[in-house]
C-alpha cells in the first residue's frame, strides 16, 4: 500500500472548519444554560464536552470526597463554643446514599454524648456534609463567622458546635431533642448541581423533635460564593431566629419578609 493513496483520501482538513460555531453566542448573557456550544458534525465539540466532564467530576467529588473532619473541628475551635463530633446511623457513604432513613438518626454513642450534657441552650448549630463535602469545607466556617456575632447580639445561649458525620437534614431534630435545645439550625451540603458543586443549605427548626414535619422548617438555599452570600444568609437566619423566638413557631407560617426581588427581568427577544 503506497502512502500516496492514503494522502489523497484525507487532504489535511482545515482546523478552523472542524467546529461550527453558533452565531447566537452572545445570548449566553441571558442564561447560564449551556447554549450555543457549537458542533463537530452534529456532536459536541471537544472543548464543550470536556467542560461538561469537568463540571460533573467536580460535582461527583463533592458528593464522594470525605469531609476533613479534623480540619473542620480545628476551624470551629476558634469560635470558643466547644465542638462535639457525632455520627449518624449511616456507617459509610454508599449506605448514606441508599438509606436516607439512617442518615436522619444519630447512632447510640452520639445520643449518649448529648444526654451527658445537662446545660440548657436556646440554640444548637449542627454541621453535616450532606451531599456535598465541598459545601461545608468551603463555606461553613465563613458562614459561622458571619452569623455567630448576630446570635450573641440577640442574647441567646449557644450550645457547643456539633459535627455529624453522614447526616441528613432531620438528624438536627435528633440533636436538638437529645440536647434539649429550643432551636436548631443545621448547615448541610446540598445536592450538587453541575454548575454549583459547593452549595450550602441551612434548615432552621423551632422546638424540633424526631419525626417533625418538613413544613415546620425554614430553609435558606444556594449559599456559596456565586450564590447567596454568607452575610446575606447570616442576616436572614438571624431574622428567622428572632421571629421564631418571639412567635413560638417556625416553618411555612413564618414568612421570610427579608425577601427582596432583585432579579433582572429580560425581554423575550423572539418576538418583534
Partner 1 sequence: MAEFVMNAGGERFRFASLKELMAKASPLRSGDQLAGLAALSDHQRVAAQMALAELPLSHFLNEALIPYEQDEVTRLIVDSHDAQAFKAIAHMNVGDLRNYLLNEQVGAAELAALAPAFMPEMLAAVSKLMRIQDLILVASKCEVVTAFRNTLGLSGTLSTRLQPNHPTDDPAGVAASILDGLLYANGDAVIGINPATDNLQAVTTLMKMLDEVIQHYQIPTQSCVLSHVTTHLEAISLGAPVDLVFQSIAGTEQANQGFGINLALLDEAYIAALSLKRGTKGNNVMYFETGQGSALSSNSHHGVDQQTCEARAYAVARRYKPLLVNTVVGFIGPEYLYNGKQIIRAGLEDHFCGKLMGLPMGCDICYTNHADADQDDMDMLLVQLVSAGVNFIMGIPGSDDIMLNYQTTSFHDALFARQISGKKPAPEFEAWLQQQQITDDHGHLALKQQLPKAFDVVSKELRK
Among 56-64, 119-127, 152-160, 206-214, the segment contacting partner 1 (CB under 8 A): 56-64
String of contacts with partner 1 for each residue 125-154, x by CB under 8 A: ------x-----------------------
On whether the CB atoms of residues 184 and 176 are closer than 8 A, the answer is: yes
Secondary structure (3-state) at 174? helix
Closest CB to partner 1 among 124 and 223? 223
On whether the CB atoms of residues 182 and 168 are closer than 8 A, the answer is: no
Binding-site size, partner 1 (CB under 8 A): 52
Closest CB to partner 1 among 44 and 83? 44
Closest residue by Cα to residue 209 from 250, 259, 245 = 250
Judged by CB under 8 A, does residue 31 bind partner 1? yes
**CA dihedral (57, 58, 59, 60) positive or negative:** positive
**CA dihedral (203, 172, 116, 165) positive or negative:** negative
Secondary structure (3-state) at 206? strand
String of contacts with partner 1 for each residue 192-231, x by CB under 8 A: xxxxxx----------------------------------
Alpha carbons 268 and 272: distance in angstroms, whole number? 9
- Applying CB under 8 A, which residues contact partner 1? 20, 22-24, 26-28, 30-37, 39, 41-44, 48, 52-53, 55-56, 59-60, 62-63, 97-101, 131, 191-197, 263-272
Amino acid at each position: 500500500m503506497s502512502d500516496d493513496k492514503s494522502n489523497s483520501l484525507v487532504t489535511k482538513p482545515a482546523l478552523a472548519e472542524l467546529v461550527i460555531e453558533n452565531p447566537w453566542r452572545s445570548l449566553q448573557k441571558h442564561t447560564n444554560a449551556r447554549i450555543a456550544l457549537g458542533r463537530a458534525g452534529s456532536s459536541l465539540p471537544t472543548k464543550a464536552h470536556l467542560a461538561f466532564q469537568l463540571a460533573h467530576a467536580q460535582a461527583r467529588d463533592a458528593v464522594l470526597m470525605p469531609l476533613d473532619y479534623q480540619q473542620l473541628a480545628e476551624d470551629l475551635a476558634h469560635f470558643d463554643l466547644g465542638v462535639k463530633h457525632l455520627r449518624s446511623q449511616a456507617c459509610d457513604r454508599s449506605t448514606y446514599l441508599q438509606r436516607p432513613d439512617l442518615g436522619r438518626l444519630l447512632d447510640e454513642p452520639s445520643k449518649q454524648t448529648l444526654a451527658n450534657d445537662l446545660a440548657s441552650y436556646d440554640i444548637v448549630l449542627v454541621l453535616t456534609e450532606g451531599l456535598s463535602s465541598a459545601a461545608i469545607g468551603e463555606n461553613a466556617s465563613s458562614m459561622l463567622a458571619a452569623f455567630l456575632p448576630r446570635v450573641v447580639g440577640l442574647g441567646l445561649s449557644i450550645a457547643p458546635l456539633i459535627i455529624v458525620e453522614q447526616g441528613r437534614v432531620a438528624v438536627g431534630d435528633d440533636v436538638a431533642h437529645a440536647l434539649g435545645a429550643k432551636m436548631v439550625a443545621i448547615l448541610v451540603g446540598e445536592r450538587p448541581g453541575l454548575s454549583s458543586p459547593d452549595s450550602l443549605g441551612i434548615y432552621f427548626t423551632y422546638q424540633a423533635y424526631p419525626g417533625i414535619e418538613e413544613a415546620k422548617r425554614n430553609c435558606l438555599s444556594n449559599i456559596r460564593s456565586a450564590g447567596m452570600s454568607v452575610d446575606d444568609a447570616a442576616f436572614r437566619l438571624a431574622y428567622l431566629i428572632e421571629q421564631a423566638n418571639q412567635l413560638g413557631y417556625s416553618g411555612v407560617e413564618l414568612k421570610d419578609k427579608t425577601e427582596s426581588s432583585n432579579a433582572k427581568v429580560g425581554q423575550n427577544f423572539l418576538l418583534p
